[in-house]
């Protein structure tokens, strides 16, 4: 059985500077893909997120994992930049097999747990543009290249499945709307891609231990369990590699069309494809949240990872 089922495939991970996007790029690379990893933070300068991670580092990690990583600094709100990116991919590769829309970068703009009348409208609308407009702009230019060959895959990255978000308020009207919107975009892309043999899926990680989340809990990946002192439910958290492996599994599945227009979590896909997090576990965060956290039960991940 080959361990590089994506050799010869080309992926674009839009929003791959850090967190889930970075590890999606890395895991696609580990499966053999050529990965264009894009974002606004590079060694030439930071985005408004003002964090140290760069797109060049992501590309280097992709190559180190066994793929071919190509980092490109792109602002996905600027159509001309996205058009140029896709034209470059076409010129250099002549194909696009996987598009991952993971662009976000709006955390500093969200005011959590405040009603709309206490929100800054300019910040809220900027967050929506970063979360939704970027995905539409990228798809507008990238999908014509992706549909040249049947079997193309689009993954819309969100926070929460359609079923989970349906009856839960996500702490800010702008965040709530952003995350519901990207799930709906996957539904729309699935409708438009189906006649061309393409598949679109809305995918969410669980409680992800991104670089920023580790910093928030004052831990590293080596001692992450110590974060339970701040919140005991942190023990259900997962590395970004877990959702990265979910995307790689979808991309390698010749029967991926069965997922068209679905909204799923990395934990759900792990039960189907058999991949694990880096520690060998299969965390099922959304089931844990519903059955333990929301019911006020003591933290206990037994049976959930």
The ranges assigned to domains in the chain are 10-215+239-283
* Burial of 155 (C-beta count, 10 Å sphere; 0-12/13-18/19+): buried
Banded pLDDT at 3 (limits 50, 70, 90)? confident
Q: Which residues contact 215 (CB under 8 A, 6 or more apart)?
A: none
Q: Which residues contact 162 (CB under 8 A, 6 or more apart)?
A: 183, 202, 263
Average pLDDT over residues 16-25: 98
- Give the pLDDT of residue 197: 98
Each residue of 271-295: pLDDT tens digit? 999 999 999 999 999 999 999 999 9
Give exposure, 266-278, as e/b (b: 16+ Cβ within 10 Å).
bbbbbeeeebebe
Banded pLDDT at 49 (limits 50, 70, 90)? confident
Average pLDDT over residues 89-104: 98
- Give the pLDDT of residue 2: 57
Percent of the chain with pLDDT over 70: 99
Long-range contacts of 38-42 (CB under 8 A, 24+ apart): 38/12, 38/13, 38/14, 38/71, 38/72, 38/73, 38/74, 38/76, 38/85, 39/15, 39/73, 39/74, 39/105, 40/73, 40/74, 40/75, 40/105, 41/17, 42/71, 42/73
Token pair belonging to 167: 């009856």
Least confident of 76-90, 104-118, 261-275: 104-118
Average pLDDT over residues 241-267: 98
Q: Which residues contact 252 (CB under 8 A, 6 or more apart)?
A: 5, 6, 31
Each residue of 161-177: pLDDT tens digit? 999 999 999 999 999 99
Task: Reduce the DSSP state of residue 241 to 3 states and report it.
Answer: helix
Q: What number does CATH give the domain 10-215+239-283?
A: 3.40.50.720
Task: Reduce the DSSP state of residue 150 to 3 states and report it.
Answer: coil
Does residue 218 register a pLDDT over 70?
Answer: yes
Residue of 234, 14, 218 whose CA lies nearest to 105: 14
- Give the pLDDT of residue 262: 98
- Give the pLDDT of residue 1: 45
Helix (H) / strand (E) containing 11: strand 10-14
Residue of 212, 250, 194 whose CA lies nearest to 53: 212
Percent of the chain with pLDDT over 90: 97
């Amino acid at each position: 059985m080959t361990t590089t089922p994506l050799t010869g495939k080309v992926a674009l991970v839009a929003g791959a500077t850090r967190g889930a996007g970075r590890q999606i790029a890395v895991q696609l690379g580990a499966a053999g893909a050529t990965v264009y990893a894009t974002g606004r933070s590079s060694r030439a300068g930071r985005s408004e997120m003002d964090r140290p991670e760069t797109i060049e580092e992501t590309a280097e990690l992709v190559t180190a994992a066994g793929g071919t990583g190509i980092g490109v600094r792109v602002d996905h709100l600027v159509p001309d930049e996205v058009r140029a990116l896709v034209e470059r991919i076409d010129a250099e590769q002549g194909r696009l097999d996987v598009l991952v829309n993971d662009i976000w970068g709006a955390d500093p703009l969200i005011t959590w747990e405040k009603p709309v009348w206490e929100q800054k409208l300019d910040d809220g609308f900027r967050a929506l543009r970063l979360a939704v407009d970027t995905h539409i702009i990228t798809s507008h230019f990238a999908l014509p290249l992706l549909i040249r060959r049947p079997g193309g895959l689009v993954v819309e990255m969100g926070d929460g499945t359609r079923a989970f978000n349906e009856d839960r308020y996500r702490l800010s009207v702008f965040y709530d709307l952003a995350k519901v919107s990207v799930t709906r975009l996957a539904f729309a892309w699935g409708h438009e891609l189906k006649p061309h043999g393409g598949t679109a899926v809305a995918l969410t990680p669980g409680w992800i231990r991104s670089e920023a989340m580790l910093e928030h809990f004052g831990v590293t990946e080596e001692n992450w369990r110590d974060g339970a002192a701040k919140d005991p439910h942190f023990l259900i958290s997962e590395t970004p590699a877990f959702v990265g492996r979910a995307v790689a599994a979808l991309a390698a599945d010749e029967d991926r069309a069965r997922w068209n227009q679905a909204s799923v979590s990395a934990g759900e896909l792990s039960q189907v494809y058999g991949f694990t997090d880096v520690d060998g576990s299969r965390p099922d965060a959304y089931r844990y949240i519903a059955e333990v956290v929301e019911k006020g039960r003591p933290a206990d991940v037994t049976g959930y990872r």
